[in-house]
Amino acid sequence: MAGLKKDVFVALAAIGWADGALDAEEADAIVRAAVDEGLDLAEIADIETATREKLDLGVVDRSQMTKEDRLFVYAIACWIAGLDAKVTHGESDALAKLGERLGVPERLRAVAETVAREVAELPEGDRPARYDLPKVRRLLGERLEQAKAT
């Protein structure tokens, strides 16, 4: 599987900015996800800049992303939007735009939101240092396989 690119994480920062402020936990979550994905230091620095300066949702290149990658990105965005315990109208709009840009149908957006919430409710919690990103990816893959089998 090709790794997610920098533009994905910059788009995630835009989701966090959609309510007018990107808090430290949201910024940490985005940077941690980028580090976990194996991006290089220059790309991480660009992402950190995007977490410090307000920006709009940019272009997300999905040409090299699998369906599972696109669902994973959408699930991470849902988690980030809910980190401050509320999802604002602006964040909901930004999530809808991201879903459209990623080509994720409504039905699968609901699956991604559910998985993000399930993992956040685990004993490890939803805080960036403990949120189980690999489990999110694994569960999404399992749910996609289940959907294909039915």
Domain borders along the chain are 6-149
Give the model confidence (pLDDT) of 123-136 as tens digits: 887 787 778 888 88
User: Half-sphere exposure of 115 toward its Cβ, with a 13 Å CA cutoff?
Assistant: 27
Given pLDDT bands bounded at 50, 70 and 90, which one contains residue 1?
A: very low
φ, ψ at 109 (rounded to 5°): -60, -40
Position 119: which residue type? V
% the chain with pLDDT above 70: 97
- Looking at residue 66, what is its pLDDT? 84
Report the first-to-last Cα separation within the chain, whole angstroms: 25
Q: What would the mean pLDDT of 63-86 be, rounded to a whole number?
A: 85
Structure letter (DSSP) for residue 80: H
The answer to pTM > 0.75 is: yes
56 HSE (CA, 13 A, CB side): 3
Whole-angstrom Cα distance, residue 61 to residue 45? 19
Residue 39 has what DSSP assignment?
A: -
pLDDT confidence bin for 59, thresholds 50/70/90: low
Q: Would you state the torsion angle of the CA atoms of residues 93, 31, 73, 106, taken in this order, to the nearest 10 degrees?
A: -20
